Each structure stands twice: as structure tokens, then as C-alpha cells.
Structure 1
Amino acid sequence: MSRRRLITAIEIDGAGGHPAAWRGPEVDPAAILTGELALRAVQRAEAAGVDIATFADALEAPADIADRVSVRLDALGLAARIAPATERIGLLPTITVTHTEPFHVQASVATLDYISSGRGGWVADVSSSEEAAAVIGRREPAPAADTWREARYVVDVSRHLWDSWEDDAIIRDASTGRFIDRDRIHYVDYSSPTFNIKGPSIVPRPPQGHPITAIRVNTPEALETAAEAELVLLPGVGELEERLAAIRVGAGSPRVLVSVGVLLDEDPAAAALRADGASHLDHIGGVERLADLIGEWAAAGVDGVQLRPASLEVDVPVIAERLIPLLRARKLIGPVGRAATLRSRLGLARPGSRYVGSER
């Protein structure tokens, strides 16, 4: 029986996961806010055959510390900027659903799926902080359990709204003046404890039917939502098998990617110097050892790996030029694929609309 090839992803977060990455001599700090730094990293990853780029984001402002980047580009906007400049790689921006309108969230993700020709998705996240609540000013902060419970409803209603247009609802018949078939557009009439949506969506059904939904399981509360996702990001590597088992207890069968912060340098002294002041780095060292670890994680049952590079300009070229070819040589990942939808790239079927034949 052949082993399924691993899914590979990189995370885009400012100049990189290290707070001092922007200060490296190889980095043009201005390129962080033009999006060029992120675009270059994603294009390098795509050329190597990486499957997905995720984009970090949060409603809370970055810490205002003099030697750190205290600004952040909107992840969804950045993904939309990069989509037309790429062809194969999936694009998953982080979107915090706690203080945002579910109707607009799903419409934004559907739009990204169109812009990227079926490579769109999102990392659904929540916020329980007072700072985020103050930034938005619409509601008080809620406990993590409540925010993740609400997130499950947001994910669910998003799929209902993506289904609210049947695939053949758009006619575009200029001779009769009919652009859409109204009988193939449906109300969702969705109710949850915190919101109600009548629908239908303002965006036609996305190219993938349902763009890919990912959840980062970094808290016990997030674990309950994992069953709603197609893709789960599992930060860190401690007690990996136990956490994998917990995710797969539910009815869903998401693809699970272990998420690791990496700083790649064969010189131990140079690596230690670069790592100074960093946190949440799971691997500091060479490519061969990281490839060994990825092989061990694959044997433990993960479906892939999300790499969070310490520096986009330093570590992404090493990932693209050395690590990915090494994983391919070890047959842990497949060849560079042709342009396709992200769902097909992940081996996921395109779902049909639940409203076909409905009069709702």
C-alpha cells in the first residue's frame, strides 16, 4: 500500500517569525508594507512545489516595541494581492470571526477563490481579548469556549451561503437579457445563538464549491472546531500522536499539518546568533535533520507540515532550494504539480450544493 504524499505549507508573517527578521541586511523593510516581501516568498515556495501559503493575522495590533515591526498588512488583502501573481499554490489568509460579520467573511473568501481560480481558503480564528473588542467596539470580549462555539456556526453558515447559488445559476444570456436563473439561487434562513442570516450570498458559488477551511488547534477550545475543517494546523510537536488521536476522534476527517517554526542554518554558531531573541522555534539547525523530523512526523500519522520560517528572505530560499527537493528525493512529497484547484491538490472532492432541487 503506497503512502499518501505529505502536504507542504509555509506561513507568511511580516518579514518572518523572528521579531528581528526585518533588521537583516538582506531585507528591505519597505518591502514588508508593499507586499513584495511576501510575494517573493510565496513565488519561491510555489516554484519549488509547496502546496499552500498561509497568512498570519489578528485583530490586535502588534506590540509597540521600538526594534520590532509594529504594523501588519491585512492577511486577506495580501492574499488577494498575491493571487494574480501565482498559479498553483493555495492561499489561506487568517480571518478572525469573533467581531466580523459572517456574511461578509464568506463573501470575502469566495471572492478570493475566484481571484485565485480555485486556490482560495481561510484559516478561521477567534479572539477573546479586550484589546480586539475595544478595536472593533461592537461587543464585549467572550470566553474562548464561547468564541470557538460561535466559530463553528460561522464555518457552517459560510458553507450554506456558498451553496446558496447552484453551479449553473449564472446564465449570461445577452439575447434574452437574463444574467442569472433566479430559481437556482436560494435563501439559507440560518439561525445561531449569536446571528441570523437569510441569504443568499452576494457572490456566486465559488470555483471549489467550498473553499478550504483551516483551523489552528492551539487551545483545547479550538479542538472542538477541528472536525468542521478540511485542514488542521497543529502547532508544536510535543505529544504529537496523542493530539492527532484527539483530533481524529470526531466525525470529521481533516488533513492534519504539524506546524513548526524553523530557522535553517548548517552552522551552529550562526544559527544560535540568528535565533537570539526568538521564541516558538521548533527547529534551529540544518536541512537534513529537519527532513529526518518530517519523516518521523509522517510516520506518526500527520498529513503534512506547515513551516513557519524565522526569516522570509533567509529561510524560504533554503526551504525552496534544499528542503523541498530533499523531501521529494525521499518520496515524502510528490512532484511539482500543474495548476489545479486547491481541493483537488489536497485530494478532496468538490462538494455539490445542498440546495439543488430545493424551492427555498
Structure 2
Amino acid sequence: MTPSHGRGLLHLAAAVDQREARNVDRHVEAVRLAERGALDFVTLGEHSARPGPHGPAAPGPDALAVLHRAAPATRRIGLVPSTSAEPSRVRAALATLDRDSGGRAGWYLDPAVTEADTRLRDGWEDSGSPQGHPVRVADATDPGTRTDVARRADVALARVTSPAQAAAVRDELRDAARESGREPDALRLLASLVVDLGDGEHVAEPGWGSPLFERSRELGGGGGGPRQTAHGPFYRGGPVDLAELIAHWHTAGVVDGFHLTPAEPGRDLERLVNGTVALLQHRGLFRTFYPGSTLREHLGLPRPAHRYVVTGGTS
């Protein structure tokens, strides 16, 4: 498989949904913990984190309001809400969040948008923030959404269970970006996993994510890797083994990074940051500090040109 452009830059993001969905302070503390690990961004939805592969999600907080609270408590990490609020309200609130956070806002797009909603989400003016306007994040797991994601998103998430699946999504997105006249390297692909790090430092069970088991097989073969569940790919193991899996997939060039949802929010986010991320940093695979201040800088994405800038000369 041909590595994607910029594979040396590993990108990591995490969901900071909490079981105690209405406890805003816990959400803010989770964002601060993720920033201590130098993660690119966090996501927050209107549902609590799922307990591994079991059970329905519970009602959650107003994601926009929580991340507005998190902005002054942090300095660098990207803030990406997922909300079903009315699009014009979302756009206005995100523009404010982007300015107030110094260019760290993103928008987790709903793939099931109406034509009017699409015009709203595409009609950004320069928000006055250092990054121009919020980064667009979208789920590309459903093949039916990939053409739209390739045209509009800056970050694509895909729930995949093997390097081969990730590579197939990556290639389809890059082809669709080219066909739409867009530079394929302007889109980042992150694999989405729910992670249960309750096994501490023990190696993951074969078939639950251990690359030590997978390395003996041809890339993309069966056996290792996360398992598919009703709620998406699910990894169970320890922080060390998760670091090996992340390094293995990223080095293969099939993804630009990972978006990770802790199965047990209080436990697994701490083990992710202080275990998995620390090990990746020690091995020189992930940054130890933020070289820039905006979410676009973290992701290696250019600041978008103003919609009304004239690029040609005058006659």
C-alpha cells in the first residue's frame, strides 16, 4: 500500500463524553487532560460515552455550551462539538467559539443534512479567527457519504477494523477529492475506535487489537485488530498494546491518525494520555508540544482563502 502524504505526522483525537452527562466540570477537566497529552482535538456530542460495545447512549449536555466553558480553561487543543441544533445557531456559536479560542474550533458535520443546511455550513465568511473558519469533521464510514465528505470536510473519520479497510476508505476519499477538483492531501483520515483499556499494561487478547499477533500476518489479514460490534470497532487491551496498534497502522500509511472514544471515560482517557500517548511520544511518533496555536496548524492544514479574495490580475 502506498503511504499517504504526511504520514510522519501522527494525529490523535479523543471523545470527552462523560457518564455523568450534565456534569460540565468533568467535561472541562477531560478536555484539559487531553490537552496535557497534546492531542489535536476533542469531540463532544449530545450523548454520553457508550460503555464499550454494550448498551444505548444516554442524553448528554449542550456540547457547544460545554466547549465554550472549556475554551478559557485550555490554550491549544481543538474543540469540536457534535450537535443537532438549528444550523444557523450552530454557525453563529461556532464562529464565536473559534474567535474566543484563538482559532481552535471545529464542526462535527451531520452527514444527513438538508440542502439548506449544506448551504449554511458551506457559506462561511472569514470568522476573524487565526484559522479563518472552523475545521470541518465528518464521518466517512458509510460509502454513500464519502463523495460529500471528500468535497467538504477537512477531517474524515472512519469506523474500520483493519488496515485493509482503512486503506480502501482512504483511496476512495482521495479519488473523490481529485474528481471534485480538490487537493487530496488537504483531507486527513482518522480511524475511529472505542477503546477499553481496563487490562492495564497487559497485552491485548489476540483478535482484540494486538499487533504482535497481527504482525505475523500479511497487512490487512485476519486475526488481529479491533472487533466489529453493533456500536462500531471496539478495542480491548492495555495502553502499551494500543500504542503498538496505532504505530503499526500509521506506519503502514493507511491512516493519518486515530479518533478514540474511551469505553470508561474517567479511567480510559487517563490511561490513553498517560500510557499510550506518553509511549508514542517517547518513541518520537507523536509530538510532545503544540508547535502552533490553531486547530488547522495542529492538523497541518492551510488557512482557507477568503471567499471573495480575487486571485487574478486586473486588466
TM-score by length of 1: 0.66
User: Which residue of 1 is the match for residue 93 of structure 2?
Assistant: 108
User: Which residue of 2 is the match for residue 262 of structure 1?
Assistant: 195
Q: CA deviation at 1:257?
A: 0.7
Q: How does 1:82-93 map to 2 (within 5 A)?
A: 82-93=70-81
Alpha-carbon separation, structure 1, partners of 2:83 and 2:99 = 18
Q: CA deviation at 1:244?
A: 1.3
Q: CA deviation at 1:148?
A: 6.6
Contact 1:125/1:151, CA 8 A, preserved across alignment = no
Alpha-carbon separation, structure 2, partners of 1:89 and 1:121 = 11
Q: CA deviation at 1:126?
A: 4.2
The reply on whether 1:243 has 2:169 as its aligned counterpart is yes
Alpha-carbon separation, structure 2, partners of 1:256 and 1:148 = 24
Alpha-carbon separation, structure 2, partners of 1:117 and 1:34 = 25
Amino acid in the other structure paired with 1:229: A
**Superimposed CA distance per residue, residues 154-191 of structure 1 (whole angstroms, 9 cap, x where no aligned partner):** 4322x3xx24xxxxxxxxxxxxxxxxxxxxxxxxxxxx
1:309 equivalent among 227, 248, 262 = 262
The 1:327–1:74 alpha-carbon spacing in structure 2 relative to 1, beyond 3 Å, is same
Name the SS of the counterpart of 1:214 in structure 2: strand
Alpha-carbon separation, structure 2, partners of 1:3 and 1:280 = 25
Q: CA deviation at 1:289?
A: 1.8
Q: CA deviation at 1:356?
A: 3.7
The reply on whether 1:8 has 2:12 as its aligned counterpart is yes
Q: How does 1:145-156 map to 2 (within 5 A)?
A: 147=113, 152-156=118-122
Alpha-carbon separation, structure 1, partners of 2:111 and 2:189 = 19
Amino acid in the other structure paired with 2:270: P
TM-score by length of 2: 0.75
1:125 equivalent among 80, 90, 110 = 110
Q: How does 1:67-78 map to 2 (within 5 A)?
A: 70-78=58-66
Alpha-carbon separation, structure 1, partners of 2:249 and 2:293 = 27
The reply on whether 1:352 has 2:285 as its aligned counterpart is no
Alpha-carbon separation, structure 1, partners of 2:18 and 2:76 = 22
Q: CA deviation at 1:210?
A: 2.1
Alpha-carbon separation, structure 2, partners of 1:13 and 1:278 = 19
The reply on whether 1:55 has 2:54 as its aligned counterpart is no
Q: CA deviation at 1:151?
A: 5.4
The 1:282–1:339 alpha-carbon spacing in structure 2 relative to 1, beyond 3 Å, is same
Unaligned runs of 5+ residues in structure 1 are 16-28, 128-146, 164-203
User: Which residue of 1 is the match for residue 154 of structure 2?
Assistant: 230
Structure possessing the higher radius of gyration over alpha carbons: 1
The 1:14–1:212 alpha-carbon spacing in structure 2 relative to 1, beyond 3 Å, is same
Contact 1:112/1:121, CA 8 A, preserved across alignment = no
Q: How does 1:11-50 map to 2 (within 5 A)?
A: 11-15=15-19, 29=20, 32-50=21-39
User: Which residue of 1 is the match for residue 221 of structure 2?
Assistant: none
Q: CA deviation at 1:288?
A: 2.1
Amino acid in the other structure paired with 1:119: R
Alpha-carbon separation, structure 1, partners of 2:302 and 2:292 = 16
User: Which residue of 2 is the match for residue 26 of structure 1?
Assistant: none
Contact 2:99/2:128, CA 8 A, preserved across alignment = no
Alpha-carbon separation, structure 2, partners of 1:2 and 1:259 = 19
Q: CA deviation at 1:122?
A: 0.9
The 1:3–1:355 alpha-carbon spacing in structure 2 relative to 1, beyond 3 Å, is closer
User: Which residue of 2 is the match for residue 333 of structure 1?
Assistant: 286
Alpha-carbon separation, structure 2, partners of 1:209 and 1:293 = 35
User: Please, what is the CA RMSD of the aligned residues?
Assistant: 3.1
Contact 2:12/2:258, CA 8 A, preserved across alignment = yes
**Share of identical aligned residues, percent?**
32
The 1:2–1:150 alpha-carbon spacing in structure 2 relative to 1, beyond 3 Å, is closer
Name the SS of the counterpart of 1:331 in structure 2: coil
The 1:68–1:249 alpha-carbon spacing in structure 2 relative to 1, beyond 3 Å, is closer
Alpha-carbon separation, structure 1, partners of 2:270 and 2:245 = 19
Alpha-carbon separation, structure 1, partners of 2:7 and 2:144 = 31
Alpha-carbon separation, structure 2, partners of 1:34 and 1:335 = 29
**Superimposed CA distance per residue, residues 257-304 of structure 1 (whole angstroms, 9 cap, x where no aligned partner):** 111100003367xx99xxxx9953521011222112112221142111
Report the number of matched residues: 267
Contact 2:46/2:59, CA 8 A, preserved across alignment = no
**Superimposed CA distance per residue, residues 198-218 of structure 1 (whole angstroms, 9 cap, x where no aligned partner):** xxxxxx533311211111123
